[in-house]
Structure 1
């Protein structure tokens, strides 16, 4: 069936991860999504926060569903221009400095000019700094080495670089012959790609959905409030499509769809969880139930903001989340399958 065209989804994800979109500077990625949906005749609306709401009409217009994925990613800002011509940075999103050590990056100035650089420990050279391995990776010790001839702060400012300029990380996307996709920012561009392909196939197959279904591409999830607004009042079910976290004690893997039963915000809706499980069982979709201990989603943000909705969370399993991420096409495919059947199912009673 058309929704099983995982190769197209993986290629779309690779394109998405290659578009810089740290939280606060997501217009280019949102515009890419907007053009994609315009080309398949799905109406969209920009939110004041800069996200995108797409809608596919269904038979029942008095009750609706909303599915969300976020296009914003981890990133950084210029915190200080140092006297040595390097940049001190401030992190955007929840991650550790060690996860970006040695990474290539891009600095975007207020005028839109871009410069490349590398994120390094100040005391990197082992030929100079005897205890470089013991130095703490933190804001004080990490810096951006700009790929320009600069010797001091004045040289840097002459380039147009200033405090508050956004810094994005090289995604280093790679597709392997064994079916893996390796890249930064699979959280949550893997799920954005899945939702875009789902909408495309719904339109191509001319499927009649039981309920009007909204798709919110949010752009502030990494800082906690991406999907807590712009929820149409008719919305009953709100399903966040985000990554499944992998690690010790976790059930999630890179090959199944992960159904989250609880995260740091508390349990997800029990009835919706059971319905998702039944859909997976009925359609032979491999899944794992899991608890993510240090995690919050757009669905939990919507609940916290006071919306009276049924909320859930599913997604592909992502290894090394908020660092050098990886997933497998099987997990992408199984997530797509579950979503395909979910949007055609009856709501939780």
Structure 2
């Protein structure tokens, strides 16, 4: 039994790592820097890291018993954009990476990452950005064609932008605006899914510090294309069970809160494994963790991608509750900690049929 683990998890370590992750730009497909950070952190804890051709990372934690392997997966890729075109007036037209509403990025500070390694500041605006000039500015539809990036450089035409080295296909990342408050609230862009990633590293840190092994071998897989739907479409053949650790959606008729571990019974891909979901609920009760069981009709996960990719696995989905997902997100440190506790309880238990 894994009771009363919460005080032993290193809260400071988890939150400090979370802040590093949040402040490292990583739109889907542009995860080189953050994967270097992940690799260095895993090696610091004493874990070997295997990189896949796709750019995902695999951290293997040997278990007490031989047999079927559990996979815990979270993703470090985030929402973002890419330069679609350079306009004659020196503004950038963008194309979104990931699924978000355009109004959630209007007015946001951003960075343009050129392929030569240079980075420039900018701001996302509508093409009618001022109520003092455009009579329909308030009602103007916020959609891709009506949004642009203003570059913070002395440029006023396409040639000036090109002279900076900016070109079509360059990545654009959002300023995360991360705040870790003394009362435990964490607000930032990209808590989906960097909050879960920090919790998983808290789990790894505890196992190493306590000299403990899970019952079965655990493979922690960090994916880099989840936001575009194929982060874990391929997984190693020895995986029997997979738990996607991803943010819990909140709102509408959902019962979860930012303080809860969210356990998803069904998302847009269909129901998750009945026995695994039931076991997670039982363990949350046993450990005295605030939790909620919910349905996410507009949601998909790395487990969804693996199942759709033909993987013959059992799968479940848990994570900290996150408000305003794909917008200005917020969660609580307790939800991140409790998610790690629930996962520890699961992997330290003998396998149930």
Query: Which TM-score bucket, shorter chain as reference?
Result: over 0.9
1:132 aligns with 2:137: yes
Choose 98-107 or 273-282, whichever is displaced more. Answer: 273-282
Choose 155-164 or 173-182, whichever is displaced more. Answer: 173-182
CA positional deviation for 1:177: 2.5
C-alpha contact 2:9 2:203 (8 A) present in aligned 1: no
Q: Distance in 1 between matches of 2:72 and 2:233?
A: 12
Q: Distance in 2 between matches of 1:263 and 1:90?
A: 26
Q: Distance in 2 between matches of 1:301 and 1:151?
A: 43
Q: Which residue of 1 aligns with 2:76?
A: 71
Residue pairs, 1:234-273, within 5 angstroms = 234-273=238-277
Q: Which residue of 2 aligns with 1:175?
A: 180
CA positional deviation for 1:3: 4.1
C-alpha contact 2:22 2:178 (8 A) present in aligned 1: yes
Q: Distance in 1 between matches of 2:66 and 2:310?
A: 23
Q: Distance in 1 between matches of 2:315 and 2:246?
A: 13
C-alpha contact 1:191 1:316 (8 A) present in aligned 2: yes
Q: TM-score, normalised by structure 2?
A: 0.97
SS in 2 for 1:125: coil
CA positional deviation for 1:79: 0.4
C-alpha contact 1:243 1:316 (8 A) present in aligned 2: yes
Q: Distance in 2 between matches of 1:49 and 1:3?
A: 35
CA positional deviation for 1:249: 0.6
Residue pairs, 1:85-234, within 5 angstroms = 85-229=90-234, 231-234=235-238
CA positional deviation for 1:310: 0.8
C-alpha contact 2:9 2:206 (8 A) present in aligned 1: no
SS in 1 for 2:168: coil
Q: Distance in 2 between matches of 1:6 and 1:258?
A: 19
Q: Which residue of 1 aligns with 2:19?
A: 14
Choose 331-340 or 236-245, whichever is displaced more. Answer: 331-340
C-alpha contact 1:57 1:209 (8 A) present in aligned 2: yes
Q: Distance in 1 between matches of 2:352 and 2:193?
A: 26
CA RMSD of aligned residues (A): 1.0
| 1:93-126 deviations in Å (ceiling 9; x for gaps) | 0101101000000000010100000001111111
Q: Distance in 2 between matches of 1:234 and 1:84?
A: 54
SS in 2 for 1:345: coil
Q: TM-score, normalised by structure 1?
A: 0.98
CA shift in 2, pair 1:46/1:316, >3 Å:
same
Q: Which residue of 2 aligns with 1:337?
A: 341
- Report runs of 4+ in structure 1 exceeding 4 Å deviation: none
C-alpha contact 1:6 1:332 (8 A) present in aligned 2: no
Structure 2: runs of 5+ lacking an equivalent = none
Q: Distance in 1 between matches of 2:274 and 2:304?
A: 14
| 1:179-223 deviations in Å (ceiling 9; x for gaps) | 100000000000011111111110111102211100000000001
